[in-house]
Amino acid sequence: MRPLTPSAGSAGATAAARFLAIQGCRIEYRLIRSAPGAPVLVFLHEGLGSLSAWRDFPGRVAHAAGCEALVYSRAGYGASAAVRGPRAPRFMHDEALAALPALLERLGFERPILFGHSDGASIALIHAGGAGRRVAGVIAMAPHVFVEDVCIQSIRRAKRAYETAELRARLARHHADPDAAFRGWCDIWLDPAFREWNIEEYLPRIACPVLAIQGEDDEYGTMAQLERIARLAPDAQVLRLADCRHAPHRDQPRAVLEAAVRFVGRVRAAA
């Protein structure tokens, strides 16, 4: 494995974003070519995230693990095309079972290692358990497997914060339309119909190793999420991080980076 702290000029760190059409939607993406021919890490952002919101983290992981990486903004986020109409409760299923397979097929990526955060982690788990495509491994960071009251309460607080304009200003740095990005995420999570959302059925079908990571101070979920994954997924290990909230890669970056590199090494050795 390579050193865990790459230089500022690491390959792929400043690669320009590109665009392609997936299911008729213009998608922003970036390829990090730090190790051509190596396994591909696919980074799936959180509910308010985007390609740029990951900052340099994907490049650091790719460099340290000796992998290539794909980072993209889902429809409605970053510089990708807007989503028409409100999201449905199955929006993560739609991404995992239709949009993501189409993107991977278009780019010719087989047996990727999925690295998802929050909603992106849920998408990774659904894809691995239900898309019918081979996946080498899943890193699920702060995943949602079912809806908890603590998550709904935190989203309500985020909605109030957005109305004060400070949160909107932060999101405007990463989204062409921050209002649509926020409303699309907030409105569906607070919709009463979403309370029954659950992806436990996909966990026993995951045929690859899973690393589930969560902060002990996560304001959007309890350790019950990790416990459910550990109990239902055939090959799952969990990492609980102290002094860490909903974004482990920001609150405990070195711990996450080291765990990710070890996990990728295990997956590559098995392959």
Q: pLDDT tens digit string along 55-69? A: 999 999 999 999 999
Side-chain-side CA neighbours of residue 251 (13 Å) = 18
In this prediction, residue 10 carries a pLDDT of 38
In this prediction, residue 15 carries a pLDDT of 67
Tell me which residues of the chain have a pLDDT lower than 50: 1-14
Question: For domain 18-270, which architecture applies?
Answer: 3-Layer(aba) Sandwich (3.40)
Q: What is the residue extent of each domain of the chain?
A: 18-270
Question: Is 270 strand, coil or helix?
Answer: helix
CA–CA dist 108, 14 (Å, integer): 23
Q: What is the four-CA torsion angle of 94, 98, 101, 106, rounded to 10 degrees?
A: -130
pTM for this model (two decimals):
0.94
For the record, the structure tokens of 169 come out as 């200003």
In this prediction, residue 16 carries a pLDDT of 81
